[in-house]
A = this chain, B = another copy of it.
Amino acid sequence: MSLDGVTLLGLLAGTLTTVAFFPQLLKTWRSKTAADVSLGMLVTFCIGVFLWLVYGILLGAMPIILANVVTLVLAGLILALKLRYGD
Bitwise, A1-38 to B at CB < 8 A (1) or not (0) is 10000100110111111111111101110010111111
Chain B residues in 8 Å Cβ range of A14: 48, 52
Query: Nearest chain B CB to A34's CB is how many angstroms away?
Result: 5
CB <8 Å contact, A16 and B59 = no
For residue A43, which residue of chain B has the nearest CB?
B20
Least CB separation from A74: chain B residue = B41
Asked whether any CB of chain B lies closer than 8 Å to the CB of A73, the reply is no
Alpha-carbon separation in the docked complex, A5 to B27 (Å): 39
Q: Interface residues, chain A, CB within 8 Å of chain B?
A: 1, 6, 9-10, 12-24, 26-28, 31, 33-42, 44-45, 47-49, 51-52, 54-55, 58-59, 63
